[in-house]
Amino acid sequence: MKNFNRVSVLSGVVLSMMASSVVAAETNEEQFDPEKFFKQGMEEREKGSPYNAIESFQTILSNKPALHRARLELAVAYMQTLQYQEAEAQAQTVLDDPKTPASVRVSILAFLAQLKKDSEQLTPTHEHKFTASAGVLYDDNVNVGPSSSVINIGNAVLNITSTPTSDTALVVAAGYDHSYRTGKTLRLGQKTGLLLWQSGVSLYSREYDTEDDFDLDVISLRTGPAVVTNSNWRANVALQADHIRLGHNELANYVGLQPSVTWTLDPSTEITVDAEITDRDFKQVADQQRDANYYSLGVSLGKGYKNNTVGVQGGLEWFDNDAQIGRLSYDGWEMFVGANWQIKQSSVVFGKVSYKHSNYKGPEQISTLVRDDEELQFLLGGKHTFANELELSAFMTRTEADSNDVLYEYDRNQVSVNLGKKF
C-alpha cells in the first residue's frame, strides 16, 4: 500500500506521453479557449491539486466532449485521487473511439491493466499478526519498581527505605494485531486517504524469582482509525486501555487517546508528532491520591542512511501528570537520540540514550522538599532473525536517577534475553 502513489505517478507519466499523440477532432471556438483550461489543469495537477485539475478538465469536456487529450489527462487526475472507476471510464471512452491510433490503444490497455492492479487496494481486506516471546531478565535494583520502559507510573512503588535488591525474572509477552482495510477513501483537501481500522491486544508478564511484590502484569487493548494518504503523510488515533497489576494485586487502569501524524520528507526521512491524553485510575486505597490525568506532546525525527540500513532517531516530549495532590503531580520534558544498524538482512544492533527532567508540584511528606528529578537512561541491544522466523533479541539498560531529594536517587541495571516469533 505504501507504493500506490509511486505507481500512480509512473502510470500518469505514461498516459501523459500517449495523450500528446492523440489528435483532437475539434477546433477552438472564439467564446471558449480549451487551451487555457488545459494549461490550468496541468499546472494544478503538477503542484499537487488533482481535485482542482479535475474541475478544469471537466470544464473542457463539457464544452468539447471529443477532445480526448483532456479526457486522458482527466483519467490521470482521477487515478491520482484514487477514483479508479472514473479513471477507467474516461480511458475506455478514448479506447472505444475508432479514430484513436493503434499505438495509443496499446498504451491505454497498459494503463487500464495498471489501473486494475492499483484498484485492488480498495478491496476490503483483513490482516492478522500474532507475536509471542519469552525470556529472562536480570535486575540489580528490583525494589525501585516497574521499569518505565514497560509502563510509566512515575516510580509509584519506590521503596525509599531499603537498599537495592537484585533478582532474576521470567518475562513473557504476546500480542495480536488486526488491520482492516475498509476500501473507503477520504478527501482531505487536495489529498486522498485510504481509511483503515487498526486494533490489537498485548500481554506482558514479569515474574521475579523471589521478589514477588514487584511482579508486573500488563494487559493492553487498543483500537482506532488510521488514514494513509496518496501524498507524504499518514495519521492514526488509538483508544488504548491498560490494566496493570503489581505483585499480583490490582494497581491501576489507564484509559486514553493517542493520536499521531507522520510526514515523509523524503524517501529516507520522516517526522512524527504524537500526543496522549490518559486517565490514570489507581485501585488500591493507599494509592487513591495518585489518580491523575496524564498529557503528553512529542515530536521525533528519523533518517536513514546507506539504503536505510543505518537509521538515526531523535525526539523531544513534554508531559504533565496532574494527580490529586501536588507531591504526586509533576510535569517536565524528555529527549532521546538513538541509532540502529542492520549488519545484514537478518541482524540488527541498536542503541538509545534518553534524558528526562521532572518537576513536582508539591512538597514531600518526610523531607518537605519539592522534588526536582532527572533520569538518564542508556540502552544497547541487538536482534537476529533465523530462517524459521524465530527472533533472538538481547538488550542491556542502565538507569541513573538524580534528585534534589536523596531518597529518590538510584542506579539500576537490567539485562534481558528473549526468544520470539511472529505468525
Query: Comparing C-alpha atoms, which of 4, 22, 11, 121 is closest to residue 76?
Result: 11
| Mean pLDDT, range 355-373, rounded to an integer | 93
pLDDT digits (tens, 9 = 90+) for 182-214: 999 999 899 999 999 999 999 999 999 999 989
Q: Do 24 and 147 belong together in one domain?
A: no
In this prediction, residue 28 carries a pLDDT of 42
Q: Do 82 and 131 belong together in one domain?
A: no
CATH assignment of the domain containing 71: 1.25.40
Strand 249-266 relative to strand 410-422, pairing: unpaired
Domain-ending residue, one of 69, 98, 122: 122
Range of the domain at 346: 125-422
Look up residue 135 and give its three cell numbers. Answer: 525470556
3-state helix, strand, coil in the chain (%, to 5): 25, 50, 20
Q: Do 114 and 143 belong together in one domain?
A: no
Q: Do 364 and 327 belong together in one domain?
A: yes
- The residue among 15 and 325 whose pLDDT is bigger is 325
Say if residue 31's pLDDT is above 80.
no
Of 62-66, 265-269, 406-410, least confident by mean pLDDT is: 406-410
In this prediction, residue 157 carries a pLDDT of 43
What is the number of structural domains in the chain? 2
Rg (CA), the chain: 29
Say if residue 15's pLDDT is above 90.
no
Q: Do 330 and 270 belong together in one domain?
A: yes
Task: Name the pLDDT band for 387 (thresholds 50, 70, 90).
Answer: confident
Q: Do 350 and 388 belong together in one domain?
A: yes
| Mean pLDDT, range 340-351, rounded to an integer | 95
- The residue among 312 and 149 whose pLDDT is bigger is 312
Task: Name the pLDDT band for 44 (thresholds 50, 70, 90).
Answer: very high
Task: Name the pLDDT band for 144 (thresholds 50, 70, 90).
Answer: confident
Domain-ending residue, one of 122, 155, 170: 122
| Mean pLDDT, range 93-110, rounded to an integer | 91
In this prediction, residue 149 carries a pLDDT of 44
Q: How far apart are CA 160 and CA 407, in angstroms?
A: 6
Positive or negative: CA dihedral 46, 48, 51, 56: negative
| Mean pLDDT, range 216-232, rounded to an integer | 93
In this prediction, residue 365 carries a pLDDT of 84
In this prediction, residue 286 carries a pLDDT of 86
Q: Do 149 and 97 belong together in one domain?
A: no
Say if residue 57's pLDDT is above 50.
yes
Q: Do 33 and 159 belong together in one domain?
A: no
Please name the residues in contact with 133: beta carbons below 8 A apart, sequence gap of 6 or more. Answer: 171, 172, 173, 174, 391, 393, 418, 419, 420, 421
Q: How far apart are CA 28 and CA 34, in angstroms?
A: 7
Single-letter amino acid code for the residue at 78: Y
Q: Do 106 and 154 belong together in one domain?
A: no
Task: Name the pLDDT band for 407 (thresholds 50, 70, 90).
Answer: confident
Domain-ending residue, one of 122, 140, 155: 122
Q: How far apart are CA 64 and CA 168, in angstroms?
A: 79
pLDDT, mean over the chain: 89
Beta-ladder partners of 292:
280, 323
CATH assignment of the domain containing 354: 2.40.160.40
Q: Do 41 and 131 belong together in one domain?
A: no
Q: Do 303 and 220 belong together in one domain?
A: yes
Q: Do 81 and 166 belong together in one domain?
A: no
